[in-house]
Chain A
Amino acid sequence: MRLIVHNMLTCNIKGVINKFPLRIEAEKVIKKEVDFNPDFLRHMLAKIEWKALVDGARSMGYTELPDHAPDTERVESDESFLKKFHHALLELHLEEGSLVCQETGRKFPVDKGVPNMVLREDEV
């Protein structure tokens, strides 16, 4: 699971209010190189919850992201920022670990990179 997905995922348990973000407990993180595409990054930046990305990256051992995302106009020219954003968003994979709901403590295990988000019947 990459952080682009983590940034979209919420806890879907019935009645939970504080659904996002899920806390990452990392046991194994791997890196895979992906083609750099500034257009896609700019497209995604508007959708990203920045703090969740920064915290998520930290819990996977990557601490280079700035605390605040630069303004959208400045992003155009800020190649060094885009490179970091690219790496955090698309190249880090949580291979083993868990995603933890902050409200209930429910753990969604991540196995071979695939989070198990299936709810028990009493959670639906």
Chain B
Amino acid sequence: MSSRPEFLAPPEIFYDDSEARKYTSSSRIVEIQARLSERALELLALPEDDVPRFLLDIGCGSGLSGETISENGHQWIGLDISASMLNVAVEREVEGDLLLGDMGQGLGIRPGVIDGAISISAVQWLCNADKSSHEPRLRLKAFFGSLYRCLSRGARAVFQVYPESIAQRELILRHALQAGFGGGLVVDYPHSTKKRKEFLVLTCGSVPTSINDGHKESGSDDDDDDSEDEENGMVCVSDRNRPRKKQRTNKKGKGREWVLRKKEQSRRKGNDVPADSKYTARKRKSRF
């Protein structure tokens, strides 16, 4: 993102009907958001027991990030302040439930009911004062406080953000920690200006698993797109709060059922998808 939209206008004005449509019809944006969401979900480290979870997508926009949640078999509520973005989501018949709301006013959700939250490219908006009554600190505090309360113990919240500066990143992180969250920053591709991506990984209450600090395992993600050097993605975690146990979450792949579902979804969208066969989602030999 070259020019920063959050400096141009408040989100509900910036994401008007035409911008919402433009955003959602750009295949580049669709692909980037899907990839970011996929990674955020991975960092949520939900239990791998095939039970769907109830998640929150904060700043869900037209539902691009939410679609990744659906594809992974979970249920979600999406919150956004732009009616135009939500309209596009309604038109696209996303599977999640949508709410028009301002995260800076705090989330009005009962305590302890949400299994996890993701937010893709949205939270940096909170650092702006778009109205005279907006005080970013108070809005960050209201947001993180209410998020902490509505998550179940042990749940995580993963935010992909484009902080404008180190000071802004610190501001966001500080408010998260003040609300009671533990956790820290995960940076993918830290040495690439273009591919560098930051995720704030927050944990709520007691932590069942430690933060997955692994490099992306090679071949674990079977999106067979331009296999750019994903494998070389560097991940570093700076844990701000608690000493982290060195322990890797064991990724056992997503299984045939998941692949079949994803293929079916893609077919419904009219894509050209290879027919299912006995080879579909078969485990590949390790490479060398």
Contact = CB atoms under 8 A, between A and B. Distances in A.
A8 B110 contact: yes
B269 to A, nearest CB: 18
Interface stretch (B27-35, B97-105, B176-184, B205-213): B97-105
A119 B50 CA distance: 37
Contacts of A39: 50-52
B105 A12 contact: yes
Nearest to A114: B98
Nearest to B12: A118
A116 B50 CA distance: 33
Interface stretch (A23-31, A40-48, A58-66, A75-83): A40-48
Given A4-B75, A8-B77, A8-B109, A118 B51 contact: no
Interface residues of B, number: 32
A7 B75 CA distance: 14
A10 B108 contact: yes
Interface of A: 1-2, 4-5, 7-12, 19-20, 37, 39-40, 43-44, 47, 49, 112-119, 121, 124
A37 B73 CA distance: 11
Interface string B74-112: 010100010100110010000001111110011111101
Contacts of A115: 99-100
Contacts of B86: 114
A103 to B, nearest CB: 13
B114 interface: yes
Given A4-B75, A117-B99, A118-B81, A12 B52 contact: no
B204 to A, nearest CB: 15
A115 B112 CA distance: 21
Interface in B101-157: 101-102, 105-110, 112-114, 131, 133, 146, 150, 152
Contacts of A2: 97
A13 to B, nearest CB: 9
23 contacts: A1-B97, A2-B97, A4-B54, A5-B77, A5-B97, A8-B113, A9-B110, A10-B109, A37-B52, A39-B50, A43-B54, A113-B90, A114-B83, A114-B86, A114-B99, A116-B100, A116-B101, A117-B99, A117-B100, A117-B101, A118-B101, A119-B102, A121-B131
Residue from the set A2, A10, A39, A49 with the largest chain B CB neighbour count within 10 Å: A10
A2 B97 CA distance: 7
Contact of B106 (A4, A7, A12): A12
B108 A19 contact: yes
Contacts of A12: 105-108, 146
Contacts of A47: 54, 112-113, 152
Given A9-B99, A113-B98, A116-B101, 12 more contacts: A7-B110, A8-B110, A9-B108, A12-B108, A37-B52, A43-B51, A43-B52, A115-B100, A116-B100, A117-B99, A117-B101, A119-B105
Contacts of A19: 108
Contacts of A119: 102, 105
B110 A124 contact: no
B75 to A, nearest CB: 7
A4 B95 CA distance: 13
